[in-house]
Amino acid sequence: MARIRLGMVGGGKDAFIGAVHRIAARIDGEFELVAGALSSTPEKSRDSGEALGLDPARCYGSFEEMAEVESERPDGIEAVAIVTPNHVHGPAAAAFLKRRIHVICDKPLTATMAQTEALAAAIKASDALFILTHNYTGYPMIRQARDMIASGDLGGIRVVQVEYPQDWLTEAAETTGTNKQAEWRTDPERSGAGGSVGDIGSHAHNLACFVTGLAVEKLSADLQSFVPGRRVDDNAHILLRFQGGARGMLWCSQVAPGCENGLRLRVFGEKGGLEWAQEDPNYLWFTPFGEPKRLLTRRGAGANDAANAVSRTPGGHPEGYLEGFANIYAGAAQAIRAAQAGQRDPVLDLLPGLEAGLAGMRFIDACVRSSAQDAAWVTL
């Protein structure tokens, strides 16, 4: 089958997440990157594009130009990946959606609630698909956990513990002049009002909701900016109340020395418990109450269909972050091909989109508002 023609906005040289998206798009051979507005300055965009082997004629100086030109080419892009800082997500996505080009967008949805509303309108107005790369939902054992909970293996959910500690902002990396990542992610103009809650807390929130199938109704957030001069939170302690009575805690931090990318989820119900850690993603611990703990492994004896459907290698041959990310792209490809045939593929039920994005934005907004009121309960 021919590959889906893909464009990219953002993701020029030295951009971490752009390279990740490109690999994720390549792993299953479903996409071919053919155009890019890889940087906000035209020359840089061209340089980055050339380094990637793009046709110079399809290296654009702006996403507007790319959307316009590509939408008129017979061989124009069918989908676009948006991997810019958050405040660009909205306008960029809108530009492609209105031209019926499918959008795969990095999370969070946008930088502000106002931007979010505009984007939501654009998504609703378009026939094209909008997929948000909450990539951690792509891990096979996360799919398994979701399926097990939906099947009742844990009984009614009582307690959700989710955390996402990192340590890369333990010192004031944004002031050294050499760390672009640190700069934009701690700049509320580009990143949004949430610092750690926007960057990683939103992943933790999304993962907890995805796996449990529950929405957060209320939260109480105590946000901190431990590093002097930092303009956004770099650590957050959050109490959660889910619909239906489950309760939870969410901790995210960028100042926890020894934690690299410590996303970890534990869910406890009336009948059993599950534990999963992103850094060791091929394992899922399951304890039916009153029985020994079981180590479920990707493609191992206890793996279920939901996990196996997004797994490439046999048990014991570890898959990682890129494969999990690629599962979002593989799902997107499947949904895009169906859409091109005028159908809705059920894989869309598993892929984060507008709804998850809105929930995420409300989560970030609620965190910031709650913390401003000394951790008062705020309804999402």
How many residues at the interface with a copy of itself, by CB under 8 A? Answer: 89
CB 34 within 8 A of CB 60: no
Residues 291-310 that bind a copy of itself (CB under 8 A): 291-297, 300-302
DSSP E strands: which ranges in 20-156? 31-37, 79-82, 102-105, 130-132
Q: Which is nearer to a copy of itself, 127 or 374 (CB)?
A: 374
Judged by CB under 8 A, the stretch of 78-86, 117-125, 277-285, 332-340 that binds a copy of itself is 277-285
In terms of CB distance, is 53 or 342 closer to a copy of itself? 53
Please, which residue, 210 or 286, has the CB nearer to a copy of itself? 286
223-229 long-range Cβ contacts below 8 angstroms, 24+ apart? 223/197, 223/367, 223/368, 223/371, 225/195, 226/255, 227/169, 227/170, 227/171, 227/172, 227/255, 228/172, 229/172, 229/175
Residues 248-267 that bind a copy of itself (CB under 8 A): 248-249, 251, 253, 255-262, 266
CB 255 within 8 A of CB 237: no
Which of 118, 322, 347, 348 is close enough to bind a copy of itself by CB under 8 A? Answer: 322
Q: Which of 62, 288, 348, 369 binds a copy of itself (CB under 8 A)?
A: 288
Tell me how far, at minimum, the Cβ of 117 lies from a copy of itself, in Å: 30
Mapped onto helix, strand or coil, the DSSP state of residue 265 is strand
> From the CB of 271, what's the least distance to a copy of itself, in Å?
7
Site string for a copy of itself, 63-102 (x = CB under 8 A): ----------------------------------------
Of 188-247, binders to a copy of itself (CB under 8 A) are 220, 222, 224, 226, 235, 237, 239, 241, 247
Q: Does 39 bind a copy of itself (CB under 8 A)?
A: no
Distance CA 55, CA 116 (A): 33
What six digits make up the tokens of 97? 């959606």
| Cα angle 19, 22, 27; round to 5 | 125
What is the distance, to the nearest Å, from the Cα of residue 108 to the centroid of all Cα atoms in its chain?
7
Q: Is 325 helix (H, G, I), strand (E, B) or coil?
A: helix
Which among 6-14, 34-42, 77-85, 270-278 is the span making contact with a copy of itself, rule CB under 8 A? 270-278
Reduced to 3 states (helix: H, G, I; strand: E, B; else coil), residue 288 is strand
- What whole-number distance in Å separates Cα of residue 204 and Cα of residue 37? 30
Q: Of 36, 90, 198, 272, which one interacts with a copy of itself (CB under 8 A)?
A: 272
**Phi, psi for 206 (deg, rounded to 5):** -60, -45
Least distance CB 227 / a copy of itself (angstroms): 9
* Residue among 166, 191, 206, 327 that touches a copy of itself (CB under 8 A): 166
Q: Is 19 in the site for a copy of itself (CB under 8 A)?
A: yes
Q: Can you give the length of the chain in residues?
A: 380
- Cβ 165 to a copy of itself, closest distance in Å? 8
